[in-house]
Amino acid sequence: MSSADRHDGPAPAPVPAPAPETPAVGGRSRRRRPDPTPAQRALGLLVRREHSRKELADKLAARGVARNEAEAAVERMAAEGWQDDTRFAASLARARAMSGYGPLRIRAELATHGLDESMVAAAFEALAEAGEDGWAGRARELVQRRFGDGLAGDFARRRKAADFLLRRGFDGDAIRYATRGGPDID
């Protein structure tokens, strides 16, 4: 029998696994935070950015909150002024307009959030009051920035520019103005 096969005494005791709660500095164990309430979760989402009622309720439900509790939390946030669909609509419309999207695309996106027409109209009124509703001018700026000057003689580039603006949600008048150099040219 070799020395490696020989065993001098009892087998060593297994090393215990560390406890799930590890002691912190000073020997105290860390307490696990309680799960946030649906209202706390809703407020956490609203602090980051505006949300529509529908979007907020959907996000809470996706995070495991029961649908009726999620809707109650959203209702509480609205009652306390933390959530406002009109404010959300104005914020989203302005952000999309600044990103180069047209009114058709903005309206469609607002509709996906379950907003009624009065809220959408209020959002576009807020854009008009801020002077941010010059859609033809915005379309022309986008075309110039992306395609440069000289579209009048190049039908293929004009078509590409028109398709680009159409995808961005601009209407026919704004597209014609932007790609033809003015309202009545051509």
Query: How high is the pLDDT of residue 186?
Result: 41
Q: Report the distance separating Cα 167 and Cα 175, nearest Å.
A: 11
Q: Report the distance separating Cα 63 and Cα 78, nearest Å.
A: 20
Q: Report the distance separating Cα 107 and Cα 113, nearest Å.
A: 10
Query: How high is the pLDDT of residue 23?
Result: 53
Residue 4 is encoded by which pair of tokens? Answer: 């490696």
Query: How high is the pLDDT of residue 141?
Result: 93
Q: What angle do CA 62, 96, 43 make, to 5 degrees?
A: 35
Query: How high is the pLDDT of residue 35?
Result: 87
Hey, is 11 helix, strand or coil?
coil
Q: Report the distance separating Cα 37 and Cα 154, nearest Å.
A: 60
CATH architecture assignment, domain 38-79: Orthogonal Bundle (1.10)
38-79 shares its CATH topology with 134-186: yes
For every one of its 186 residues, what pLDDT tens digit does the chain have, with 9 covering 90 and above? 555 555 555 655 555 555 455 555 566 778 888 888 999 999 999 999 999 999 999 999 999 999 999 999 999 999 999 999 999 999 999 999 999 999 999 999 999 999 999 999 999 999 999 998 899 999 999 999 998 877 777 888 999 999 999 999 999 999 999 988 655 444
Q: Tell me the longest C-alpha to C-alpha distance in the chain.
A: 105
Q: Considering the entire predicted model, what is its pTM?
A: 0.74
Query: How high is the pLDDT of residue 184?
Result: 46
Cβ-based neighbour number of residue 161 at 10 Å: 24
Q: Report the distance separating Cα 157 and Cα 150, nearest Å.
A: 9
Q: What is the CATH number of domain 85-133?
A: 1.10.10.10
Q: What is the CATH number of domain 134-186?
A: 1.10.10.10
Burial class (CB in 10 A: 0-12, 13-18, 19+), 67: exposed
Domain boundaries, the chain: 38-79, 85-133, 134-186
